[in-house]
Chains A and B, each alone.
Chain A
Amino acid sequence: MTISNTARRPAVPHSVPKSAGRPAQEPTKKASSRRWRNLVWVLPAASLLCIFAYLPLMQNLGFSMLKWDIYSGRQTFVGADNYIKMFNDPIFWRSLLNNTLYAGISIVFQVFGALILAAMVEGLRSERWRGILRAIYFVPSAISLTVAGLLFYFIYEPRMGILNAALEFVGLGNITQAWLGQENTAIFGIVAMSQWQGFGYCTLLFAVALQRIPSELYEAASIDGVGPFRRFFSISLPLVREMSSLMMIVTVSGAFQVFNEVMVMTTGGPNNSSQVLGTWLYRSGFVRNDFGYAAAIATAVFIITLVLAVLQLRLSKHRRVQW
């Protein structure tokens, strides 16, 4: 996301026909009005974003300072009350903890795990098998989180699910349980599904990054008698470091926006144990009818994702590795 490139480009030259024979530095009135008319190219995109993204973002700040009953329509200004309430709300903290857990586990599996996996796949000699495995691993990412969530809801289901049946089959019958029905396992069940669904996507991206490393580097290392482990740590890892940082931020940012799978699998239960910020926001606003409080949670999500986005932007600026 390098934004700076175009800004440094000379602004005028290519839009003024060379044959026109007038100096480009002194645009005539006609040329400058044409320049304004050119805004029509960006107008649809810019206005869509202003109206449906930036305006609601601003409004959200205002809404978060209201006590607002959506059905009666009554609004009262309450200042920071919603935020104070949020800081004293154990379920808010529980949700934040679950999001953090989500982020942590996803970094382990979808960043480090996927990187190692991509190195394994790309280390195979057969190009055909590399392609087949990359494609197979990606399939869960192509299906919706709703389908994946429902599928794992059934997999965890105690009577018909395959997880408990498989555990019994391998002699672990004593740890079978209603995975999504218990407070201490529900969120882990959801996170596990999410790893299954998302690891292939990250593996694919790392595979692309690894392919861009010139093969001469590996060949030279092989000739020098460097083994596969050292090749991974001394060549692959440093050269995909920036990709890893970017993936880490994308993963963490995604983990703080989780909604779909929790909604489908547990709706935040049992007893709010698997609640995340997204579902708690939804429940506060649309089930408990407290729009002002929901807007305050939205502000918290905004601050978290904004910080991550700024980090991502700074990383992408000095992203290019020279080789």
Chain B
Amino acid sequence: MVTRTSVLVVVGRVFVRAFLLALAVVVIYPLLWMLLNGVKSNAELFANPFAFPVAWRWENYATAWNRGVGDYLTTSVLVTVTSTVATVFISAWAAYGLTKVNIPFSRTVLILILGGLMLAPTVALIPLVKMFQTMGLYNSFWALLILYTAFRVPFTTFLIRAYMMDLPAEVDEAAAVDGASKSRAFWQIILPMCRPIIVSTVLLNILFTWNEYLFAMIFTSGGALQTLPVGLTNLMSKHGTDYPVVFAGMAIAALPVIVIFFAGQRYFIRGLADGVGK
């Protein structure tokens, strides 16, 4: 029997599906347009924005690479790897100290570290510039490494701590009975058990550092020191008329994180979900 309600439900379902697909196109098309523009010539770009490239000029990517994108990429990789490693270790230690070790003033320390979650980087910006100038670290790799680590530790500690709190208490007791020192228990028992959340935090920190702009822009000014987000704006202002090369640079900057996201999607989602409210 075809009732009025069942017709409505079917129409509704078709409508929902069409909408979801249309939205997917709205998301993907601009990204595809970016990739295609990266292999066009300047003339083609202005002739018809929707047209496919006539000849695929992959050399645009090489040009972008040689005009600085290669250097920016190297800096980005270096800053991302070092600050991610530093952030995750420092946070894991702190999380361990806050959950499994008996420390004095533990509540004060907890509030001190997690309180950092509330601080917007812009608020500390002006004094930080002054501070790094005084220390002679302004416009250096160290400035970015230190700042990214300091501002990511609260969130990373928050995630790892929540995970450690849920580990069964028997684990600690077993370690204590074995007479394992706190540091052996951390490296050999607790840290390996936290692997899933460690992977999540590594991925989230890669995503953050790779894309960060405010600190990167203000604390570095020399070409070789700049990360991709800042470098791209340079590429734009220096060679602004050669648009396909700019598009190629944008694609080079975007692809690594998109690949990492698809490879570690499960861990990403876990980290993001736990981060907002478990």
CB neighbours of A263 from chain B (8 A): 213, 217, 233
**Chain A positions 51 through 65: 1 when the CB is less than 8 Å from some CB of chain B, otherwise 0:** 111111101100100
Chain A residues, CB < 8 A from B196:
none
User: Which of B53-61, B62-70, B88-96 touches A?
Assistant: B88-96
B112 near A57: Cβ-Cβ < 8 Å: no
Given A5-B165, A53-B150, A147-B254, verify A19-B97 contact (CB < 8 Å).
no
Which residues of A from 183 to 239 have beta carbons under 8 Å from B?
196, 200-201, 204-205, 208-209, 227-228
Q: Does B1 contact A (CB under 8 A)?
A: no
Pairwise interchain contact A49-B116, C-beta atoms closer than 8 A: yes
Residues of B within 8 A of A285 (CB): 125-126
Given the contacts A133-B20, A138-B261, A204-B272, A42 and B109 also touching, CB distance less than 8 Å: yes
The complex places the Cα of A31 from the Cα of B106 at a distance, in Å, of 16
- CB pair A49–B150 under 8 Å, yes or no, is yes
B118 in complex: contacting residue of A50, A52, A306, CB < 8 Å: A306
Contact B106 A6, beta carbon cutoff 8 Å: yes
Please state if A15 and B101 are interface contacts (CB–CB under 8 Å).
yes
Partner of A151, one of B110, B250, B260: B250
| Interchain CB contact under 8 A, B213 and A146 | yes
Establish whether residues B124 and A38, one from each chain, have CB atoms under 8 Å apart when the complex forms: no
Closest to A299 in B: B123
A154, A162, A278: residue with the most chain B Cβ atoms closer than 10 Å: A154
Please measure, in the bound complex, the distance between the C-alpha atom of A205 and the C-alpha atom of B106, giving whole angstroms: 31
- Identify A11's interface contact among B102, B169, B232, B272, CB under 8 A: B102
A103 contacts chain B at the CB level, 8 A cutoff: no
Counting residue pairs across A and B whose Cβ atoms lie within 8 Å, the total is 300
Cα A257 to Cα B273 in complex, Å, equals 22
**Does A108 lie at the interface of the complex (its beta carbon under 8 Å from any beta carbon of B)?**
no
In the bound complex, do residue B111 and residue A42 qualify as a contact, i.e. CB atoms below 8 Å apart?
no
A39: B residues at CB distance < 8 A: 97, 103-104, 109
Which of the residues A17, A159, A278, A316 comes within 8 Å of B177, measured between beta carbons? A17
Residues of A within 8 A of B210 (CB): 144
The answer on a CB contact under 8 Å between A291 and B126 is: yes
Shortest Cβ gap from B245 to chain A (Å)? 12
Chain A residue contacts of B102, Cβ below 8 A: 11-12, 14-16, 35, 38
Q: Which of A14, A57, A146, A310 has the most CB of B within 10 A?
A: A146
Q: In the bound complex, do residue B123 and residue A60 qualify as a contact, i.e. CB atoms below 8 Å apart?
A: yes
Contact of B254 among A144, A161, A256 (CB under 8 A): A144
Contact call B276/A298, Cβ cutoff below 8 A: no
Q: Is the CB of B100 within 8 A of A120?
A: no
Number of chain B residues whose Cβ lies closer than 8 Å to a Cβ of chain A: 106
- Is there an interface contact between A1 and B103, defined as CB atoms closer than 8 Å? no
Known: A6-B165, A301-B120. A45 touches B276 (CB 8 A): no
Whether A48 lies near B96 (C-beta < 8 A) is: no
Decide yes or no whether A283 CB sits under 8 A from chain B: no
Whether the pair B114, A1 counts as a contact (CB closer than 8 A) is yes
B2 within 8 A of A: no
- What B residues does A144 contact at CB under 8 A? 210-211, 213, 228-229, 253-254, 257
Q: Of B94, B104, B126, B211, which one neighbours A143 at CB under 8 angstroms?
A: B211
Is B131 part of the binding interface, using a Cβ–Cβ cutoff of 8 Å?
A: yes
Q: Is B147 an interface residue (CB 8 A)?
A: yes
Q: Do A139 and B27 contact each other (CB < 8 Å), given the known contacts A145-B211, A246-B277, A259-B214?
A: yes
Contact residues in B for A53 (Cβ distance below 8 Å): 116, 119, 124, 150-151
Q: Which B residues touch A291, using CB under 8 A?
A: 126, 130
- Most A-side CB within 10 Å, residue of B26, B121, B126, B151: B126
Residue of A with least CB distance to B90: A44
Known contacts A143-B254, A298-B122; is-contact A49 B113 (Cβ 8 Å): yes
Query: For the complex, is B82 an interface residue (Cβ under 8 Å from A)?
Result: no
- In the bound complex, what is the Cα–Cα distance between A259 and B23 (angstroms)? 26
- Please provide the chain A residues from 263 to 293 with a CB less than 8 Å away from any CB of chain B in the complex: 263-264, 277-278, 281-282, 285-286, 291
B199 lies within 8 A of chain A by Cβ: no
Residues of A within 8 A of B90 (CB): 44-45, 48
Contact indicator A17/B211 (Cβ below 8 Å): no
Whether B232 and A301, one on each chain, are in contact in the complex, defined by CB atoms closer than 8 angstroms, is no
16 A-B pairs with C-beta separation under 8 A:
A7-B107, A42-B109, A44-B93, A53-B116, A55-B127, A59-B127, A60-B124, A63-B130, A142-B207, A146-B213, A147-B229, A204-B272, A250-B276, A263-B213, A281-B125, A305-B119
Q: Which residues of A contact B (CB under 8 A)?
A: 1, 3, 5-7, 11-12, 14-19, 35-36, 38-42, 44-46, 48-57, 59-60, 63, 117, 120-121, 123-124, 133, 135-140, 142-147, 150-152, 154-155, 159-162, 165, 196, 200-201, 204-205, 208-209, 227-228, 242-243, 246-247, 250, 253, 256-257, 259-260, 263-264, 277-278, 281-282, 285-286, 291, 294-295, 298-299, 301-302, 305-306, 309-310, 316, 319
